[in-house]
Amino acid sequence: VAGAQGAVEFRSDDYTHVEGWAKLPSHIEWGNVISVEPDPDGEHVWALHRAEPPILKFDPDGNFIMDWGQPPVDPANPGPYEMWSVHSIGISNDRRLFVVDREHSRMQVFDENGNFLDVWPNINSPLPAARTSRKSRSPNWSSTHRPG
């Protein structure tokens, strides 16, 4: 993660899989998990999965904090918080959350509390906005580069 306040690099070997760590509320079932990222200071862990809602926030002990995101009401004109084919997630050092929606060729930007900040349109693929490592499937984000 590169940003105005320095850089943090996340690697897949920095993590250990712990079965049953995340405690989901009864209305959410796990879908295909695409990306898991801690925020820069380790206070929260974010999971992106292909189910509703796609964005999940946990504390370090796996306790569920919040969720957001939904399929678009009008797929031809998706609004904030609406996403169809989530691809990757990243956290900048200034605690902005970047979510790539491949189906709509865009990236949405949120604050750490889920408030919509911006949308970066015309991203034809996750690159150049995010570069995904084959080993970790974790994006390496540049919050100083705004595509398009």
pLDDT of residue 4: 32
Verify cis geometry, omega within 30 degrees of 0, for the bond prior to 53. Answer: yes
- Tell me the CA distances in angstroms from 145 to 54, 76, 86, 95, one per residue in order: 25, 26, 20, 16
The answer for 116, left when phi > 0, alpha when psi is -120 to 50, beta otherwise, is beta
For residue range 18-74, what is the model confidence (pLDDT) as tens digits? 788 899 999 999 998 888 889 888 899 999 998 999 999 999 999 999 999 999 999
Q: Among 111, 49, 57, which Cα is nearest to 80's?
A: 111
Mean pLDDT computed over 84-102: 88
130-132 and 116-120 beta bridge pairing: unpaired
